[in-house]
Structure 1
Amino acid sequence: MSEPKRPSGKPATINDIARLAEVSKKTVSRVINNSPFVKEDTRRRVEAVIAEHGYSPDPQARGLAFRRSFLVGMIYDNPSPNYVVNMQQGVLDAVRGAGLELVVHPCNRASDRFLDEVRSFIVRQKLFGVILPPSVSEDDRVVQILKAADCPYVRIASVSLDVPECMVVTHDSRGAARAARHLAELGHRRIAFISGPDSFRSSHERGRGFQDGLAEHGLKLDPAYVRKGAYTFESGVEAAAELLALPEPPTAIFAGNDEMAIGVMKAARDAGMDVPGDLSIVGFDDLPMASRVWPNLTTVRLPIRDMGRMAAEKLTAGLHGLDAATMIQPEVDPSLVVRDSTTGPRP
């Protein structure tokens, strides 16, 4: 029996590759998308046929077939550029191997046009799916827009807000409790907290966890030592300046993210204080800058790049024959990274 041939003079199609390799179109698609659920000898046979006939998937044809583009969207409203860049890198780690590209959409949740702009972005791009970092992930109105557009999504949030296949949970309260225990065990009693904005669920979870950690050591967070920040460097400077001007200033400050913690460092230097001799400082996130400032910042580590990768892997699980609900890591556990910005209080 002679070997099946494809029409000469025409580019090979996925049907040609499937026929010549004697497999189904679905198997060819899985090989193209690097699915682990293909036998090695089958993969080699299909790849050999693809190479022989110079086949490459047509993105437009694929998009028409799925009635979507091959773009993954990331919709965010976050004042920390370092957080956003790390998240993007994680998403790219996952989508590059799946034949997808990332398109980002910064937004302002306080804007009157926020929802209209999100809806327009989703419909206009015909997105394959969407990654929602905090705090957009916490907005159920955005999720309803995505559901109405039949657009898959994955939310990253400090608590579970959705079904497992649509969630990466970061458990921010656990990390904040570890920060509180660290300061209490060093002997600090005048401990201050600079929160993030009220519009972020993470701000509330970090505050709650911090108070729980203090309570384990018989301590309470004095309202006089609480200030509200905005997850920005400038708000950290301003809040810390107020705290350090108190008649009895705190000996330790826990800032709700690293950007604010580094602002606290500046305020301490401006006040002529030594860190950590006069003031211990703890941040949250463990952004790259935390190990590059002096003294190196003690902080709670959230693996932000990994979180972006995990969310994208859940979104693209179907391309690889995986079950997003059970086969992709559903959560992360924040850890405390002790560096040089914390020590016991002076006698």
Structure 2
Amino acid sequence: MRSLGHKSLTYLSGPNDSWQNAVRRETLSRICARNDIVLNTVACSVPTYRGGFSCLAQFLRRPTSAVIAYNDIMAIGFMAALKDCGIDVPGKVSVAGIDDIPISGIISPALSTVHIDRELIGEMAVDELIGRLLGNLRRTLKPMIHDSCFIMRDSVAVAKER
């Protein structure tokens, strides 16, 4: 986002008890600090379309030029709320999600997102589970981390002067 001139970012967070949410929030915090980007967080315990839609009022109290949502469906709900208020995406606010669900590429504007390989995650989880059932693994449970990539679409643009 910094390369597009965004100096402020809001994270629409997921459930407080989600380890994924904690990792995403901490990662964003580190990246923003390193790039001199102001990071706001909007709490949203329901990672749904309705949850994303309901984040608008809190966002408008401290608006930023860019938003990253805990997942794509929240981002889509948030974009709908922005549209209902006449706020242009990406003209006024850039919005991105995480997951790259199929609908992300066909809505308007198409949602920029972080692609996560769900098939690979499923394979890794099944391998771990089978290994545990067969007694082959004696490790403690820990998050499995793998590479992801950003898919730039129409919902993100160069920041406008504020």
TM-based fold match above 0.5: yes
Q: TM-score, normalising length from structure 2?
A: 0.84
Larger radius of gyration: 1
Alignment of 1:67-146 (within 5 A): none
Corresponding residue for residue 293 of structure 1: 107
Alignment of 1:204-243 (within 5 A): 204-221=22-39, 225-229=40-44, 230-243=46-59
Residues 100-152 of structure 1: per-residue CA shift (max 9 Å, x gap)? xxxxxxxxxxxxxxxxxxxxxxxxxxxxxxxxxxxxxxxxxxxxxxxxxxxxx
In 2: Cα distance, 1:257 partner to 1:336 partner:
13
Corresponding residue for residue 272 of structure 1: 86
Conserved? CA contact 1:315–1:324, under 8 Å: no
Corresponding residue for residue 3 of structure 2: 185
CA positional deviation for 1:305: 2.5
Amino acid in the other structure paired with 1:185: S
In 2: Cα distance, 1:342 partner to 1:240 partner:
18
Conserved? CA contact 1:190–1:252, under 8 Å: yes
CA positional deviation for 1:261: 0.5
1:341 aligned onto 2:155: yes
Higher RCO (CA < 8 A, seq sep 6+): 2
Conserved? CA contact 2:9–2:38, under 8 Å: no
CA positional deviation for 1:338: 1.2
3-state SS of paired residue (2:96): strand
Conserved? CA contact 1:211–1:220, under 8 Å: no
Extract unaligned runs of 5+ from structure 2: 139-143
Q: TM-score, normalising length from structure 1?
A: 0.41
Amino acid in the other structure paired with 1:189: K
In 2: Cα distance, 1:308 partner to 1:260 partner:
22
Moved over 2 A (4+): 313-318
The more displaced of 212-221 and 194-203 is 212-221
3-state SS of paired residue (1:209): helix
Conserved? CA contact 1:285–1:300, under 8 Å: yes
Amino acid in the other structure paired with 1:302: I
Conserved? CA contact 2:6–2:37, under 8 Å: no
Q: 2:15 aligns with which of 173, 178, 197?
A: 197
Conserved? CA contact 1:282–1:298, under 8 Å: yes
1:313 aligned onto 2:127: yes
Tell me the C-alpha RMSD between the 2 structures: 2.3
Residues 68-92 of structure 1: per-residue CA shift (max 9 Å, x gap)? xxxxxxxxxxxxxxxxxxxxxxxxx
Compared with structure 1, are the counterparts of its residues 296 and 324 closer, same or farther at alpha carbon in structure 2 (3 Å cutoff)? farther
Identity of aligned residues (%): 31
Corresponding residue for residue 171 of structure 1: none
Conserved? CA contact 1:261–1:283, under 8 Å: yes
